[in-house]
Chains A and B, each alone.
Chain A
Amino acid sequence: RKEVEQDPGPFNVPEGATVAFNCTYSNSASQSFFWYRQDCRKEPKLLMSVYSSGNEDGRFTAQLNRASQYISLLIRDSKLSDSATYLCVVNYEGGGNKLTFGTGTQLKVEL
């Protein structure tokens, strides 16, 4: 079983739609959680951290469910510019500053 699992997609959605991605992680000792965004052939960039209480940044909402060991990302009012691959990232307790990356979920927003 992969340590961090994501549906690879692609998710094809029309502009303006709401789309949600889930990610599951296997290590219950996981401590920190993130969503990174990666455009084609470019470097990953931090989209947002994920906090236990859930957090929102504009059109993006992240949720963490420790009991079920999953993380979600909700994008409202999708824009063409949201088209990218979204990486779920986990830092394990005692792992120092080492992150474990999911393989990513591809989003395509269409006109």
Chain B
Amino acid sequence: DADVTQTPRNRITKTGKRIMLECSQTKGHDRMYWYRQDPGLGLRLIYYSFDVKDINKGEISDGYSVSRQAQAKFSLSLESAIPNQTALYFCATSPSGTDTQYFGPGTRLTVL
């Protein structure tokens, strides 16, 4: 079984809809991250959490929110999806004290 899983893997939705992307991990890592990847722009950090009660904004948090329900779960919500949120979204985890991050398989989101 994969250590970091994301659901759904693909999603097509319409403008204005609320969308939730979920991430689960079995690695026991404290730190979790959400990124989006767009062609030519690389990965950009949306939100990150160093612990269950810790939530921090990344460089592009506008239009997104997150919830850290447990150490193993970190979900990303788009309250009202817009077309420029069409992207590949990755969740990542990291143990405290190291820089190495482990990525989930990604969610391809299309907003029409």
Q: Which of B13-21, B41-49, B68-76, B79-87 contacts A (4 or more CB under 8 A)?
A: B41-49
B32-73 interface mask toward A, CB cutoff 8 Å, 1 = contact, 0 = none?
010000001111110010100000001000000000000000
Residues of A in contact with B (beta carbons under 8 Å apart)? 4, 8, 32, 34, 41-46, 49, 87, 91, 96-99, 101-104
A41, B50: Cβ atoms closer than 8 Å: no
B42, A43: Cβ atoms closer than 8 Å: no
The complex places the Cα of A32 from the Cα of B94 at a distance, in Å, of: 15
Partner of B94, one of A8, A41, A97: A97
A87, B31: Cβ atoms closer than 8 Å: no
- Knowing A97-B94, A98-B48 touch, does A43 contact B104 (C-beta < 8 A)? yes
12 more A-B residue pairs beyond the given contacts A46-B102, A96-B50, A101-B42, with a C-beta to C-beta distance below 8 A: A8-B40, A41-B88, A41-B106, A43-B90, A44-B103, A49-B99, A87-B43, A97-B31, A97-B94, A98-B33, A99-B45, A103-B42
A98, B45: Cβ atoms closer than 8 Å: yes
- Minimum Cβ distance to chain A for residue B104 (Å): 6
The 9 lowest CB-CB distance pairs between A and B, nearest first, are A43-B103, A103-B42, A101-B43, A101-B42, A32-B99, A91-B99, A97-B94, A44-B103, A97-B31
